Structure 1
């Protein structure tokens, strides 16, 4: 158990936070009734943390190129900077300020238990400072409760105890938000932004306790949270043709401006509207405000400095589009249907393209972001898109991307294939002439009927379902779980054992996708083994070129 929060733990924190928010995204979106019931807080928080995680990964990539690890200070600064650049919505901007407060407090470190106490207090104070008119019963209240709780702990309390106390206090405070904010009480929900912060603090507790890559706290809904009663969409959002209460526009932009210009900017924007949050510092700011005059809000930014990445959302227009079920798209869409497949390796990419798919080639060391997935869906330029993930870890990012494209008028169906062999099975039955729903059902059925396995090489000593593995061992994973462990020199034997176990449940066709790190002659040896043990089973071999897995196996 670490005594300090180091750079690697911050990296784990970002990854765990992103996974937790990805799993809770739709739940948090449903809770969103304040300050505007636009149902996007979970998505905004996910995008904010996704940007933070990307900046942190970039620090580690730079460090690897120079043969060393990044410092705690550089990683914390990258996390805060990434959150600021990618902050979306009211809660996202506030979260970016909370992370900035932590980074500023910790500095060069070390971040031990006393330092984390100070950082949580600094974060809470920074959050309140960023909001022009703080309101209790929101994410600010949850952040303050976490800071208050850790300050009351015994001085001898360790880092993990401090982090878990912050998480538990945040959950308790979240449960009380309907009593503090009338709009939450009437809707029967807790604060959406606060719920997101609880997930982030749970991820922090998991990271410092070594619960990685997915610990229990990051995904936990606090037991003290009241039962959520989600109002029907008609009760949450304005009806078509009705104006929502409050200002008509949400305006967000990044701003390059001297710190001295910000107080006047706050005063100007505060007079134009509400829900004003200005986060950042040192010349870079993220501005969020709800106004009736969007042009005046942008002009205020121009007077203060240089605004860019300007996003203006008309609340009534967005609500009407959602209620009517006919979102708009800015460009002409092809009437054809497209399949988008996310794969690793040139061979797999070429194979999917031959089957008619638009391909996003994934880096084995970095999962594609929601923005990258959305971009390749746009490249397909079709009104109907079937998205094949081929990796279980992409579900959250793909869900965000699909929602964005649906808002642009594209009908997107995500088939959560967990392996490229399932993706190939789905592509094999794809039929554009069928109705969209029928095609999706047929592809999903084909993918689900394909059992999958893969070989991986252990990076270090670890406990698995098949026992303890050592660095360099060959792991045979069946349906995502380690089932076989073999020595590094016996990849063929391990692969044969995996294949035998899969075929014990039956099968007519075996697909072998060979990766770039496969042992020489691996595929030929497996085909020969298959002919001896299961001569009636057909086999097909592809050179996939993927770097993450020396071999991927599919059984149909």
Structure 2
């Protein structure tokens, strides 16, 4: 799992420019690649130098099977990903980064208490993750990274069902292959699911980013190379293709993000009010436990015409931390049309928030 997130960080860094180049939904702000990269980097870096024996085990009602040393109480896949998910959630960037953070936190839950991944656990994790991501958005839209998550989850579940819950490494490999293959097909479909993508003749940037993340998981688990050919033929993704924002009108408004502790009632009220003020509302719990007063930690994301009313609403309900306000408009400077396959470790192009 540590190798997966590290590989995903490098891969998204290398592809960030091309992801930015085709990013036009929900707003054409050309930063999906940057946002995903920075969010995955936060998850990966939270595990650097970490002794897995130091990670506390997450309690679960499910029986824990032992596969010999190391002790599953000291090597907990769910606890590891929960730690990474929390780091991602606290620093998530944009729609795509926030949805990936939601995905990672939710995927950790069925893996709690387990020392290794298996096909049944992969199917459960992907399903939990895609359901949580769909529910985090007030107005979820097919043809986005949500559709890619769902397709991967359904494919992994089908393999698990066909093999009667077999937890061998062989079946895990089949499930990972099927998940990535389904993700590719889902990415291709996005072009015809969203009018904006169809008109621009491109696939969804967040969907491609999710495909890359899933292929990194397959690569890390199976010890195989990334499948670069998966991206062949994706519309708008060729190196020579320009950024598609040059001729588009500037998007007005701002993106507001924060982390805040709210009661369930206040959280429901905030979601309703933010839905009235703007769009792209994402609210998801950060961590699963309530505090002594019954309140939960939430990550909040919204696009609004003006920041002041949204910030005032947020402050009226609690004390936000990590609050940020960013312009949605693409900067006037022309972005560089360069390859998304930059040397590993190079800072990606894009409009960092």
The match for 1:181 is 194
CA contact (8 A) 1:272 1:293 kept: no
2:325 corresponds to 1:312: yes
> Among 312, 322, 339, which residue is 2:333 paired with?
322
Aligned length in residues: 313
The match for 2:307 is 294
2:278 corresponds to 1:273: yes
SS of equivalent residue, structure 2 residue 323: strand
The match for 1:33 is 24
Give distance in 2, aligned partners of 1:286 and 1:309. Answer: 10
Range with greater deviation from structure 2 (14-23 or 295-304): 295-304
| Deviation at residue 70 of structure 1 after TM alignment | 4.7
Deviation sequence 1:73-98 (CA, Å, 0-9, x none): 32111111111022101110011111
CA contact (8 A) 1:59 1:70 kept: no
> Among 11, 17, 24, which residue is 2:2 paired with?
11
CA contact (8 A) 2:76 2:114 kept: no
Deviation sequence 1:383-417 (CA, Å, 0-9, x none): xxxxxxxxxxx9554423x767xx89xxxxxxxxx
Give distance in 2, aligned partners of 1:312 and 1:50. Answer: 21
| Equivalences for residues 98-247 of structure 1 within 5 A | 98-110=103-115, 111-153=117-159, 154-155=162-163, 156=166, 158-211=171-224, 215-217=225-227, 219-223=228-232, 225-226=234-235, 228=237, 230=242, 232-238=244-250, 244=251
CA contact (8 A) 2:22 2:244 kept: no
The 1:262/1:180 distance shift into structure 2, 3 A limit, reads: same
Give distance in 2, aligned partners of 1:216 and 1:324. Answer: 28
| Equivalences for residues 538-553 of structure 1 within 5 A | none
Taking CA–CA contacts closer than 8 Å with sequence separation of 6 or more, which of the two structures ends up with the larger relative contact order?
A: 2
Give distance in 2, aligned partners of 1:62 and 1:151. Answer: 31
The 1:83/1:186 distance shift into structure 2, 3 A limit, reads: same
Give distance in 1, aligned partners of 2:173 and 2:129. Answer: 18
SS of equivalent residue, structure 2 residue 132: helix
Name segments (4+ residues, structure 1) moved above 4 Å: 229-232, 394-397
Give distance in 2, aligned partners of 1:232 and 1:73. Answer: 39
The match for 2:347 is 399
Deviation sequence 1:167-194 (CA, Å, 0-9, x none): 1101110011010001001111110111
Q: Given the two structures, how large is their TM-score scaled by the length of structure 1? A: 0.52
Give distance in 2, aligned partners of 1:299 and 1:84. Answer: 22
The 1:227/1:298 distance shift into structure 2, 3 A limit, reads: closer
Give distance in 2, aligned partners of 1:295 and 1:397. Answer: 37
The 1:142/1:133 distance shift into structure 2, 3 A limit, reads: same
SS of equivalent residue, structure 1 residue 311: strand
Higher-Rg member (1/2): 1
The 1:12/1:105 distance shift into structure 2, 3 A limit, reads: same
The match for 1:536 is none
Give distance in 2, aligned partners of 1:46 and 1:314. Answer: 19
Looking at secondary structure, tell me which structure has more strand per residue: 1
> Among 17, 33, 38, which residue is 1:42 paired with?
33
| Deviation at residue 324 of structure 1 after TM alignment | 11
The match for 2:260 is 255
CA contact (8 A) 2:95 2:280 kept: yes
Give distance in 1, aligned partners of 2:52 and 2:6. Answer: 15
Deviation sequence 1:413-462 (CA, Å, 0-9, x none): xxxxxxxxxxxxxxxxxxxxxxxxxxxxxxxxxxxxxxxxxxxxxxxxxx
The 1:177/1:63 distance shift into structure 2, 3 A limit, reads: same
Give distance in 1, aligned partners of 2:321 and 2:35. Answer: 19
SS of equivalent residue, structure 1 residue 57: coil
| Deviation at residue 127 of structure 1 after TM alignment | 0.5
Structure 1 gaps, min length 5: 1-9, 239-243, 326-393, 409-556
Range with greater deviation from structure 2 (52-61 or 130-139): 52-61
CA contact (8 A) 2:255 2:304 kept: yes
